[in-house]
Homo-oligomer: A and B are copies of this chain.
Amino acid sequence: MNKNSIILVLALVGIAFMTFMLLSIGGKKEEQALLNATPVIKEEGIEARSDEWGKYYPHQYDSWKQTSESSKIEDQLEKYPQLVILWAGYGFAKDYNAPRGHAFALQSNRNTLRTGGPTGADDGPMPMACWTCKSSDVPRLMEKEGELEFFTGKWARAGSEIVNPIGCADCHNTQTSQLELSRPYLKRALEESGQELDKLTFQDMRSLACAQCHSEYYFKKTPYTDKSGKDQVAAVVTFPWAKGLSAENMEEYYNEYGFMDWEHKMSRVPMLKAQHPGYETFTTGIHFKRGLSCADCHMPYTQKGAIKFSTHKIQSPLDNIANSCLTCHRQSEQEFKDIVQEKLDRKNQLNVIAMNSLAAAHLTAKKAWEVGATQAEMAPAIDTIRSAQWLWDYSIASHGSFFHAPGETLRLLGVANNKAQQARITLSGILAKYGVIDYEVPDFSTKEKAQQLAGVPLDKLVDEKQTFRKGLMQEWNNEAVEEGRLTDEFVKGLPEKASYLPE
The interface of chain A, by Cβ under 8 A from chain B, is: 286, 289-290, 331, 335, 339, 342-343, 346, 349-350, 353, 357, 406-408, 410-411, 413-415, 417-418, 421-422, 424-425, 428-429, 432-433, 437-438
> Considering the complex of A and B, which 8 residue pairs feature the smallest CB-CB distances, nearest first?
A421-B421, A414-B414, A432-B432, A410-B410, A346-B411, A428-B428, A350-B414, A432-B437
Give complex CA distance A408, B350 in Å. Answer: 11
- Of the A-B pairs whose beta carbons lie under 8 Å apart in the complex, a sample of 29, sorted by A's number, is A286-B339, A289-B335, A289-B339, A343-B407, A346-B407, A346-B408, A349-B415, A350-B414, A353-B414, A353-B418, A357-B418, A357-B421, A406-B406, A406-B407, A407-B407, A407-B410, A410-B411, A410-B414, A413-B414, A417-B418, A418-B421, A421-B422, A421-B425, A428-B428, A428-B429, A428-B432, A429-B432, A429-B437, A433-B437
Besides A289-B339, A290-B331, 16 other A-B contacts (C-beta < 8 A): A286-B339, A289-B335, A346-B408, A350-B411, A353-B418, A357-B421, A410-B410, A410-B411, A417-B421, A418-B418, A418-B421, A421-B425, A424-B425, A428-B428, A429-B438, A433-B437
> Separation in Å of the A169 CB from the closest CB of chain B?
37
Taking CB as reference atom, which chain B residue is nearest A408?
Answer: B346
> Separation in Å of the A478 CB from the closest CB of chain B?
52
> Separation in Å of the A119 CB from the closest CB of chain B?
47
What residues on B are CB-neighbors of A437 within 8 Å? 429, 432-433
Give complex CA distance A289, B338 in Å. Answer: 10
> Separation in Å of the A451 CB from the closest CB of chain B?
26
**B353 & A415 in contact (Cβ 8 Å cutoff):** yes
Known contacts A407-B406, A410-B407, A415 near B339 by CB under 8 Å: no
**A342 & B429 in contact (Cβ 8 Å cutoff):** no
Give complex CA distance A432, B343 in Å. Answer: 40
Taking CB as reference atom, which chain B residue is nearest A428?
Answer: B428
Give complex CA distance A77, B424 in Å. Answer: 30
Name the residue among A286, A353, A410, A437 with the largest chain B CB count within 10 angstroms.
A410
Give complex CA distance A417, B349 in Å. Answer: 13
What residues on B are CB-neighbors of A331 within 8 Å? 290
Taking CB as reference atom, which chain B residue is nearest A330?
Answer: B290
**A411 & B349 in contact (Cβ 8 Å cutoff):** yes
In-complex Cβ contact of A342 among B406, B407, B415 (8 A): B407
Taking CB as reference atom, which chain B residue is nearest A439?
Answer: B429
> Separation in Å of the A342 CB from the closest CB of chain B?
7
Taking CB as reference atom, which chain B residue is nearest A290?
Answer: B331
Give complex CA distance A342, B432 in Å. Answer: 41
What residues on B are CB-neighbors of A418 within 8 Å? 353, 357, 417-418, 421
Taking CB as reference atom, which chain B residue is nearest A422?
Answer: B421
Give complex CA distance A357, B414 in Å. Answer: 13
Give complex CA distance A422, B417 in Å. Answer: 11
Give complex CA distance A249, B414 in Å. Answer: 22
What residues on B are CB-neighbors of A433 within 8 Å? 437-438
Taking CB as reference atom, which chain B residue is nearest A338?
Answer: B289
Taking CB as reference atom, which chain B residue is nearest A437?
Answer: B432
> Separation in Å of the A299 CB from the closest CB of chain B?
24
Taking CB as reference atom, which chain B residue is nearest A360?
Answer: B425
What residues on B are CB-neighbors of A350 within 8 Å? 411, 414-415
> Separation in Å of the A2 CB from the closest CB of chain B?
53
Give complex CA distance A410, B331 in Å. Answer: 25
Taking CB as reference atom, which chain B residue is nearest A331?
Answer: B290
> Separation in Å of the A406 CB from the closest CB of chain B?
5
Give complex CA distance A339, B288 in Å. Answer: 12
What residues on B are CB-neighbors of A411 within 8 Å? 346, 349-350, 410
Taking CB as reference atom, which chain B residue is nearest A286?
Answer: B339
Give complex CA distance A414, B335 in Å. Answer: 26
What residues on B are CB-neighbors of A349 within 8 Å? 411, 414-415
Taking CB as reference atom, which chain B residue is nearest A421?
Answer: B421
What residues on B are CB-neighbors of A290 within 8 Å? 331
Taking CB as reference atom, which chain B residue is nearest A335?
Answer: B289
Give complex CA distance A418, B342 in Å. Answer: 20
Give complex CA distance A425, B432 in Å. Answer: 12
